[in-house]
Homo-oligomer: A and B are copies of this chain.
Amino acid sequence: MNVNRYEENPLVTPSDVKPHRDDFEVIGAFNAGIARYKDEVIMLLRVAERPLSDDPNIVKAPIFNTETKELEIMEFNISDKRYNFDDPRTIRKADDLSQFAFLTSLSYTRIARSKDGRNFTIDPAPFYYPSNELESFGIEDPRITQIGDTFYIYFSAVSPVGVGESMISTKDFQTIEHHGMIFAPENKDVLIFPEKVNGKYYALHRPVPKSTGNPEIWIAESPDLLHWGNHKYLLGLREGMWDDGRIGGGAVPIKTDKGWLELYHGASKDNRYCMGAVLLDLNDPSKVIARSESPIVSPEADYEVNGFFGNVVFSCGALVEGDIVKMYYGVSDTSMACAELSLSEILDSLTSLIEA
């Protein structure tokens, strides 16, 4: 696969982003949703910030208080045996390491704009910021689907009661309407198709079941984008392959003559995140036609291998111009990058799953 990484990569890094508070630092500007609006490319960044700490024995956790509409900063001493601080991203209860109790950073969305898709200017203020109790730990990994003149933006809403997927919409990237949580916990990596198929909207989603089952890709239907049903299991892990740990949708599905092309992320059991592709039936996207045997993009460049959480390429959006797929992607949970791939080369690389 020919992968033409931009010379300008990484396009946006944490140091390019001014923190939204003087007592915070930006540790990530990554996993951005992508849209074209007027003559600009919009990167809707997930910005992760954490409270500055001058005492290495104190770990801080920011929480949005729904009542006061203010951030509260909790402080933990790393000698506190009730908690575990091994993962710098989370604080866990010592008696239940399977779940996180707090996050050490707060994520929100912020716009980066560009005329050429390579050089971006970052808005001085947040775009959408946590606003309700289901977002008190932050909002993550936005995707954007344009339908008509409306941009539907959906993201992981994180709070102590779980991680679900909520949706807002905008027509101008200024005024925002909130549509509530559209997929209940635990769910992430939702992708809404850009048009109805046979009279119904479709979305990919990624439940994380607990009692049995894996983090895999499902598909659902909707009459109105707000209410979803007829959930079907779509795409699973592949034992021993690059996507045997967890998978989830990436970019908004791309309509091609051969079917809906979805660029998805797959992680191995040792958490190396690559991008692959899957082709879904044009008239019934719950049918899988073909799939990547090998990743189309793997973490190889320095900025993809090294960072806050290294060895991650994770796309939340792509732009298509003729045969060129401009895949924007987060790298190492830190920065944003872009690479150009050939649409026909991706399609030709897929292995058919339909019996002859």
Contact = CB atoms under 8 A, between A and B. Distances in A.
Nearest to A163: B211
B183 A184 contact: yes
Instruction: Name the residue in A211, A221, A236 with the highest tally of chain B Cβ atoms < 10 Å from its Cβ.
Output: A211
Interface in A138-173: 158-164
B233 A161 contact: yes
Nearest to A201: B227
Interface stretch (A22-30, A96-104, A299-307, A317-325): A96-104
Contacts of A207: 162, 184-186
Interface stretch (A50-58, A212-220, A273-281): A212-220
A162 B209 contact: yes
A160 B229 contact: no
A20 interface: no
A223 interface: yes
A111 B331 CA distance: 56
B180 A229 contact: yes
A226 B229 contact: yes
Contacts of A233: 133-134, 159, 161-162
A309 interface: no
Number of copies of this chain that the complex holds: 2
B164 A185 contact: no
Contacts of A211: 99-100, 162-163, 186, 208
A211 B163 CA distance: 8
Nearest to A234: B161
A212 B211 CA distance: 14
Contacts of A221: 227
Contacts of A222: 227
Contact of A210 (B158, B159, B210, B224): B210
A83 interface: no
A160 B213 contact: yes
Contact of A213 (B179, B182, B183, B185): B185
A218 B162 CA distance: 11
Nearest to A186: B209
A183 to B, nearest CB: 7
A108 to B, nearest CB: 18
A180 B227 contact: no
B99 A231 contact: no
Contact of A227 (B99, B161, B228): B228
Contacts of A208: 186, 209-211
- Give the 7 A-B CB pairs with smallest separation, nearest first: A162-B213, A227-B227, A162-B209, A227-B229, A180-B230, A185-B209, A184-B231
Given A180-B230, A181-B232, 11 more contacts: A99-B210, A99-B212, A137-B212, A161-B214, A179-B229, A180-B229, A180-B232, A184-B231, A186-B209, A223-B223, A226-B230
29 contacts: A98-B210, A99-B211, A100-B211, A134-B232, A134-B233, A159-B213, A160-B212, A160-B213, A161-B213, A161-B233, A161-B236, A162-B209, A163-B211, A179-B229, A180-B232, A181-B229, A181-B230, A181-B232, A182-B231, A183-B231, A184-B205, A186-B208, A208-B210, A210-B210, A223-B227, A227-B228, A227-B230, A228-B228, A228-B229
